[in-house]
Amino acid sequence: MSDGSADMADIRRVLAGDVDAFGGLVERYRDHVLRIVRRHVPPDRVEETAQDAMVRAYQSLAGFRQAESFPRWLAAITVRTCYDFWRRRYRRREVVLSQLSEAHRQWLEKVQAEDAGDDWQALSDRAEAREILEAAMARLSAKDRMVIELVHLEERPVAEAAKLLGWSRTNVKVRAFRARRRLHQIILEGMP
Amino acid sequence: MKRKSISPDRLDQVLRRAHRAKAELPAGSLPIQVVMARIRSRDQDGLHTPWGSFETLVWRLAPATGALALALLGIWMHINLIGDAELFQIFYAEPQMLSLLNF
């Protein structure tokens, strides 16, 4: 990341026709974009989606307003690119609804047993946790998936999630509430 | 037997940690050269401006607009555009014109 003046200088050069100046922005913000994309798309699609986000940012650069922060503007474009990724995947029915394996059931059983203890933190870091989360997320819609990731899993304020997704606050609030309930329901159904 | 008793808050905490761990996975990279090559290959599209979006829309609608213009031209060539007032004047001044106009 950098101070805004370097960003603005590069943005002005790009808008004046110097395409190569966008390289400076890519250099400074690629980790920022990758961190967001890794949270929202499968590992094998991170690179492609991050590239899509950068290309989209370049094409939308004329719409960037100097008053806003470039990293925030880029974050919104990246989140929307991730959302579009899931929309395409759901439309082509590429989302695999995987069944929970015995290892997953055992993991859920341990979490249940450790409900009052502290070992749940270690359990959360295991691969089973990510796999169960992914299996449950696959049963949600693209909209529910994005909203639950931003509001409940990343604990972003509703206003920020609304800005990132370009939706109304009411829409985000209602959808986040329903999606959380649905996610819990899906996971509890898989519990032993 | 204790079943399905995990508290929603604890479940959220577990899921949050699992979600955050995804960001730490060493998945994907973003080489500048690859991004810039993609941008240059698409650069003929240029930057999206409000005017550019409008221009794209105009070009997308051009075939339909052309077809509509031709259809209107055809209709205009086959309809009688004489107004009611003018027709009344003709009828009033020269009734014999009626037969010529084929009413």
pLDDT in tens, A18-71: 888 899 899 999 899 998 999 899 888 899 999 999 999 999 888 888 778 899
Q: Is A162 exposed, middle or buried (0-12, 13-18, 19+ CB in 10 A)?
A: buried
pLDDT tens for residues A83-118?
Answer: 999 998 887 766 565 666 777 777 777 777 765 555
Query: What are the pLDDT digits (tens) for A144-190?
Result: 999 999 999 999 999 999 999 999 999 999 999 999 989 888 888 76
Tokens of B55: 């221009």
Look at A44 and B27 and tell me if their CB atoms are within 8 Å.
yes
ipTM: 0.77
Residues in chain B closer than 8 A to A37 (CB atoms):
28
Q: Alpha-carbon distance B39 to A8, whole Å?
A: 19
User: Which residues, 6+ apart, have CB-to-CB distance to A69 below 8 Å?
Assistant: A4
User: Which among A38, A58, A111 is the nearest to B25, CB-wise?
Assistant: A38
Identify the weakest region by mean pLDDT among A20-29, A69-78, A112-121, B21-30. A112-121
CB < 8 Å to B13, chain A: 120, 124
